[in-house]
Amino acid sequence: MTYCVAARLNAGLVFLSDSRTNAGIDQISTFRKAMVYENPGDRCITLLSAGNLSISQAIRETLQTHAMVDPDEEIPLTIWNARSMFDIARVLGSAIREVHRREAKALRDQGVDFNVSMLLGGQVAGEGPRLFQVYSAGNFIEATAETCYFQIGESKYGKPVLDRILTPQTPLDEAVKCLLVSMDSTLKSNLSVGLPLDLVIYEAHSLGNPRILCLDEHNPYFQLVHTTWGPRLREAFDAIDNPRWSADAHDATPLSQAPEKYKALRKITSPSQRVE
């Protein structure tokens, strides 16, 4: 399994992925799940992948040279000549369907599902940064101001902090911290997600030169996040009063202010206890 998360902010884009893959407890390996495609001054694109590793690798290789025929365009579209991130997402969807055409039947004959999901984000000159989640069928959705981040893979453990912190106005540095806390929470709860991490930070309208970092267990800042988040979360938990069951003159927040509405069911031991 894996965990990938990406956020689209007014200030730019942040991408984070782990690098663990497994086919059972004795077949655990490390593979990068983040790829950056760049033509400085014109476009900068980042792709994260989750799902079957052989499928995602085939899609990434196909995407670099894949051309999608569009009747409205004079020439086939590629990730290098498409005029918008929306069209690049269409090219990725077409590449996924091409790999599905080549591989799906053979996989199905071996009892393997065509399972892949991807996060695609970046910027093409002439428009702002955009972020898409792309599914196995090649269809996709785009991040909005109301939902400015996407997750794929083991998403449930790292979601709460994203919901509470991220907005389009979040600065890039704060978003990096938030995504790393999300990843650390996932690492804590799921052994199928593991280090090292790939982090890509793209500043809006730079059209190139993103920060690309690989973070392992020795990275000082990730160690700070890892060793601080748990204790600080415990401190916040401890700062909330324990429940009290009835109000008094000194307690304005009782858990129960009235007799319990619901009663436990009790075993009937004699006919006289039966209520008609």
Walk me through the domains of the chain, giving residue ranges and CATH numbers.
3-236 (3.60.20.10)
pTM: 0.91
Distances in Å between the alpha carbon of 206 and those of 42, 53, 90?
Answer: 9, 31, 23
- Give the confidence band of 256 by pLDDT, cuts at 50, 70, 90: confident
- The side-by-side arrangement of strands in the sheet containing 116-124 is 34-39, 43-51, 116-124, 130-134, 140-142
Within 13 Å of residue 23, how many CA atoms lie on the same side as its CB? 8
pLDDT value at 111 more than 60 = yes
pLDDT tens digits, one per residue of 220-255 = 999 999 999 999 999 999 999 888 776 666 777 777
Q: For residue 75, give both structure tokens.
A: 């020439």
Q: Which residues contact 204 (CB under 8 A, 6 or more apart)?
A: 9, 10, 11, 12, 13, 123, 128, 129
Across the chain, where does the E strand assignment appear? Answer: 3-9, 12-17, 20-22, 28-30, 34-39, 43-51, 116-124, 130-134, 140-142, 149-153, 197-203, 211-215
